[in-house]
Amino acid sequence: MNLKKIFMKKVKQKGGWVNAHAHLDRAYTLTKKNFRYAYYPLKKKWYLVDEMKRLSTEEDIYIRMEKALEYFLIQGTQALCTFIDVDELIEDRALKAAQKLKKNYGRDIQICFANHVMKGVLDKNAKYWFEKSLEFVDIIGGLPAKDEGRENEHLDMVLQTAKIKGKMVHVHVDQLNSRKEKETEQLAKKTIEHGMQGRVVAIHSISLASHYQSYRFHIYRIMKKANLMVISCPIAWIDHVRNEYLTPTHNAITPVDEMVSEGILVAVGTDNICDIYKPFSDGNLWMELRVMLEACHYYNIDHLVQIATVNGLKVLGLEKK
């Protein structure tokens, strides 16, 4: 029995892969010089990409995005969502490259764009660029950890704006594999508060796996009430280094097996490709799915096919009516 063959056939029958989360504007930005940054912690990397962003021309960004997109087309991808940086460093160059990409490839693949709020949304400059990106993007992005100490305000701003604009929201949460993080809980509660049930998607939610079972299942119930969906990027955080904190035994990955059983919708994404965040990641969707199923010990082929296809359409708001 060739399980990969069976799986791939079923994915094809559903119209092909859906890559629900990526950052194509930074794909292939790894160089001999910046490779050493790959060992730095996440919050340092948020600043280490600044120089690359400042120096990137619209053409550079377009070439990177196109190269990655071509690779997803080869894999038989029907839809894809990529975040794009829109801030005072890159200004609107990634946005313009994205517009060109949609124009050139919009007939071959469904492409959704979300704004990556790498500088937060509360600082005056950050807010300016956040607002400037709103009309173009299909999905509004959030990154509460960037406005540390004011996470609730950050979520209020993102959710309120999305509600007014009638757009979905994708938020990076719980990335650090730490019991100190409770961002998925925060996001689920804020989703209910703003009446955005079924319109909000958590990206990652890794830290949930490091909490005790009673907390995890309590959060799953709140997520269900919020109809909060999740995108797991399996390779993105499987590299968390070991530490001396005691937690339930787990792999550093979204607890997909538990979430699916609890009725929470999960999709899959590749996240970063060949940059200082993930120097070895190449955007291979089968590899991502394989890591997910192994790290979560989850072998339900039909559910995995849903994760790789129709669930992706749902988190992107592309579900066929």
In angstroms, what is the minimal distance from the CB of 118 to Zn ion? Answer: 10
d(CA 100, CA 80): 16
Query: Least CB distance from residue 50 to Zn ion, whole Å?
Result: 17
Q: With respect to Zn ion, which residue has the nearer C-beta, 7 or 82?
A: 82
Least Å from the CB of residue 253 to Zn ion: 15
Please count the other Cβ atoms lying within 10 Å of the Cβ belonging to residue 152: 14
Name the segment binding Zn ion (CB under 5 A); options: 1-9, 102-110, 217-225, 269-277: 269-277
Q: Identify which of residues 172 and 199 has a Cβ nearer to Zn ion in the complex.
A: 172
Cβ-based nearer residue to Zn ion, 87 or 271: 271
Looking at the Cβ atoms of 25 and 271, the one nearer to Zn ion is 271
Least Å distance between CB 302 and Zn ion?
Answer: 27
Segment near Zn ion (CB under 5 A); pick from 32-40, 48-56, 264-272, 306-314: 264-272
Shortest Å distance, C-beta 171 to Zn ion = 10
Show Cβ contacts of residue 24 under 8 Å, excluding neighbours closer than 6 positions.
64, 65, 68, 69, 82, 84, 273
Please say whether the beta carbons of 139 and 145 come within 8 A: no
Q: Provide the sign of the torsion angle of the four alpha carbons 137, 139, 143, 147, taken in this order.
A: positive
Print burial letters for 281-314: b (CB count within 10 Å at least 16), e (below 16): bebebeebbbbbbebbebeeeebbbbbbbbbbbb
Q: Give 101 or 305: the residue with its C-beta nearer to Zn ion.
A: 101
Taking alpha carbons only, the member of 212, 171, 214 closest to residue 194 is 171
For binding to Zn ion (CB under 5 A), which residues are involved? 271
